[in-house]
Amino acid sequence: MRHGVFPARFAPLLTSVAAIAAAMVLGGLFLAIRGKDPIAAYGMLASRGLGTSYGITETLIRMAPLLIVSAGLLISLRAGVWNIGIDGQLMVGALFAGVAAAAVAGQIANPLMWVIAALAGMGGGLLWALVPGILRVRWGLNEIITTLMMNYVALNVTSWLVKGPVKDPSVVPPQTVLIPREMRLPAIPETGVHVGLVVGLIVVVLVTILFRHTVIGFMLDVVGRNRQAAIHAGMPVNRLTLVALLASGALAGLAGANDILGVKGLFQGNWNPGYGFAAFALVYLARLNSLWIIPFAYFLSFLAIGGEMMARPLGIPTYFVEMLEGLMLICFAVATYFERMRSPFGHQEEVETGPANAGEAPEALVGEPLLEPVAQPTGGRP
């Protein structure tokens, strides 16, 4: 034990906090260079985002789909699969959910309509992840490229569909039929936050149970940590890879359904909330630990809402918060480098797993340990 149980256990979390602090400092320097007062900007960000009931409510509403997206992304990354197509899968899922909900709204009970829309959303996201998944496991094509390209296809396909085949004919703008407000997800009692937030928290808890208490979660972790060890152990690596990508896509679609049923009530042409980039920042700051997703999701949601509320009064660019998220990832990469150098094992050569596992999540980022050690292959590289 290096410095006692407490420092060793929470050192990864402290690294993430340090990366956030460094990013905020760099963001402040950017504002100062542009002639803005960073102290006043951050003060307004905190007061508007945390100091008002409106800011807190909007933060929690934005947090709901971000929790679901990040939980799905965590599954794929823990399995060594880079799902860059989160945004495309979310848009397709949202469109499917909007069409399905509008088709049955008023004809069946609202809870049943919500379930149908949620399943349609998950089906849409899963469908959009299926093609890259098959290309990966059947022909070994890099999922980073295929999922990224599917984002552009999704943007154009959903835009075409909502301008033609699924467009509401009674209005001019390209959109699906509006779901009446009284038929959308109800608010949590005594709050203005819809129950989609509860769904997001439940999804995170289920993903935690998946990796801590189930065999398939254990196998996904092994594949992500060491593909060759998983192959030698006789695990169905290709099947697990496909499952991880499809689960990630399905949860992205569920997040889209969450936004449609809880906030928007319809799908609009060219709508793209861009949760994918924020989810990557969130999951890595949480060190691929499922429960840590919850506080980091609130923090990034607060940044987004507070940033929107401070942009106009102070004349700060609307892209400032997205820039902060990028700086956090850069600072996080630097921080984890020094963290590895401080480790007594930091200079050991990492096990290579070959090009088929090129999307592997770095082992040092994984916050939840395996249930038991995985035996490494002996007798040289296979």
Task: Give me the CATH number covering residue 242.
Answer: 1.10.3470
Q: Is the pLDDT reported for residue 149 higher than 90?
A: yes
Q: For the segment 83-109, what is each residue's pLDDT rounded down to a tens digit?
A: 999 999 999 999 999 999 999 998 999
Percentage of the chain modeled with pLDDT above 70: 87
pLDDT at 8: 62
Please check whether residue 4 lies inside any domain of the structure. Answer: no
The per-residue DSSP string of 49-73 comes to HHSSHHHHHHHHHHHHHHHHHHHHH
List the domain range (segments joined by +) for residue 302. 13-365
Structure-token pair, residue 79: 């399995």
**Which residue type occupies 72?**
G
- Count CA atoms within 13 Å of residue 42 on its CB side: 14
Question: 366: pLDDT confidence band, cut at 50, 70 and 90?
Answer: very low
Check: CB of residue 150 under 8 Å from CB of residue 95. no
Length of the chain: 382
pLDDT at 344: 55
pLDDT at 360: 44
Task: Specify the residue for token string 């779901």.
Answer: 179
Task: Work out the mean pLDDT of the chain and round it to a whole number.
Answer: 86
Please check whether residue 378 lies inside any domain of the structure. Answer: no
Please check whether residue 1 lies inside any domain of the structure. Answer: no
Neighbours of 191 (CB within 10 A): 14
pLDDT at 374: 35
Please check whether residue 7 lies inside any domain of the structure. Answer: no
Backbone φ and ψ for 34, nearest 5 degrees, come out as -85, 5
pLDDT at 316: 86
Please check whether residue 330 lies inside any domain of the structure. Answer: yes
pLDDT at 11: 77
* pTM summary value: 0.86
pLDDT at 357: 45
Q: Is the pLDDT reported for residue 373 higher than 70?
A: no
pLDDT at 274: 86
pLDDT at 314: 84
Q: Is the pLDDT reported for residue 18 higher than 80?
A: yes
Please check whether residue 5 lies inside any domain of the structure. Answer: no
What number is the average pLDDT over the span 187-211?
A: 95
What number is the average pLDDT over the span 302-322?
A: 85
Q: Is the pLDDT reported for residue 206 higher than 70?
A: yes
pLDDT at 343: 64
pLDDT at 48: 83
Please check whether residue 31 lies inside any domain of the structure. Answer: yes
Structurally, the chain folds into a number of domains equal to 1
Query: Which stretch of 20-24, 298-302, 335-339, 343-347 has the lowest confidence by average pLDDT?
Result: 343-347
pLDDT at 50: 84
The residues pairing with 368 across neighbouring beta strands, listed in sequence order, are: none
pLDDT at 217: 95
pLDDT at 49: 82
Please check whether residue 8 lies inside any domain of the structure. Answer: no
Check: CB of residue 332 under 8 Å from CB of residue 22. no
Percentage of the chain modeled with pLDDT above 90: 67
Q: Is the pLDDT reported for residue 7 higher than 80?
A: no
Check: CB of residue 368 under 8 Å from CB of residue 290. yes
Q: Is the pLDDT reported for residue 293 higher than 50?
A: yes
3-state secondary structure 263-309: HHCCCECCCCCCHHHHHHHHHHHCCCCCCCHHHHHHHHHHHHHHHHH
Question: 130: pLDDT confidence band, cut at 50, 70 and 90?
Answer: very high
> Of 73, 60, 120, whose CA–CA distance to 262 is shortest?
60
Q: For the segment 326-356, what is each residue's pLDDT rounded down to a tens digit?
A: 999 999 999 888 878 876 544 433 333 333 4
Q: For the segment 65-84, what is each residue's pLDDT rounded down to a tens digit?
A: 999 999 999 999 999 999 99
Neighbours of 169 (CB within 10 A): 5
Q: Is the pLDDT reported for residue 295 higher than 90?
A: yes
Q: For the segment 225-279, what is each residue's pLDDT rounded down to a tens digit?
A: 999 999 999 999 999 999 999 999 999 999 999 999 999 999 998 888 889 889 9
